[in-house]
Amino acid sequence: MTQRPVLTRTRDELARALAALRGRRALVMTMGALHAGHLELVKRAKEAGDHVVVTIFVNPTQFAPGEDFDAYPRTLEADMDALATVGADLVWAPAPEDAYPEPIDVSIDPGPIAKVLEGASRPTHFAGVALICTKVMGLVRPDVAFFGEKDAQQLAVLRHVFAQLDVPVKVEGVPIVRDEDGVALSSRNRYLSEEERIRARSLSAGLRAGAEAGAKGASADEAVAAVVEVLEDAGGIDIDYVALVDEGTFTVLAATAGVALGAEEDHARVTGAAGGGRPARLLVAARVGTTRLIDNTALVLKERAGE
């Protein structure tokens, strides 16, 4: 085990600890309850920076009333032990009053990218994410920040917000870390019963089926349908949405009923790319029992004759 990272709580403690760090700074933002997926972010950050700063903060502004803010696991001691194994240098674990020392009367509207899919299910979520992440960028001033691709829409939102606001940080996405059964690692997996855990495997299985269909030349709608078929065959899966989006713009190209698609001109722009295909991403959100899970995978949407 390597040395435990320095733990700071207040803004002053964070500022003093940062002043002692020389060289390139890499940041990983988390809400704690760390698992191997979070630790992979830290490992990647360690490769990219001289020092790795990790935040552990359950951010209240990204939770709506009735969501699991109070129940969200808080395991700081275990998190500090885990971070010691991957070489994190500094942790900021503020109380809400340290993160938000003044009443919150400012918000960030990330624009249309935050209104679909997760944004439609949780209308205030991405505004809260954008607010805390922008604040932390100003406090930590990292050269590079690492975010997991499991939260693909969050990653797209933050790239958009930081570009629009000229936040001077390079954003790097890190591929999803999966358990041996294919389930994407998530702090919420702990809520699954043994039987629900077995059913949860159908999310990654469905995404594989959709990606395989896309590789064989399926349309966007056909790739989405391939995912839905696997989920429905598994049974006990309450689908929120299955969608295929353009990797670069996050324009929704195809989705299950009730999900708004991108504008017609956006479709023409993203599906008309030369070179035999367009990078895209299949996403799924579903409830297994009472636990809401999300997952996604990358694919190349091939051009089809006549399109």
Give binding residues as ranges. 31-38, 62, 148-151, 154, 177, 185-188
Distance CA 204, CA 116 (A): 22
Give the closest residue to 8 by CA, choosing from 99, 70, 128, 143: 99
Distance CA 22, CA 147 (A): 23
Give the pair of three-digit tokens for residue 7.
């733990």
Instruction: Choose the catalytic residue: 38, 125, 160, 267.
Output: 38
Residues placed in the known binding site for ATP: 31-38, 148-151, 177, 185-188
* Axis-axis angle for helices 125-140, 11-19 (nearest 10): 50
Using the 8-state DSSP alphabet, how is residue 50 labeled? Answer: S
Q: Side by side, which strands form the sheet with 170-174?
A: 6-8, 90-92, 51-56, 25-30, 144-148, 170-174
Q: Is 38 a catalytic residue?
A: yes
Residues placed in the known binding site for (R)-pantoate: 62, 154
Residues placed in the known binding site for beta-alanine: 62
Q: Which residues of 130-164 are buried (b: 16+ CB within 10 A; e: fewer)?
A: bbbbbbbbebbebbbbbbbbbbbbbbbbbbbbbee
Give the closest residue to 134 by CA, choosing from 103, 171, 102: 171
Which residues form the catalytic set?
A: 38
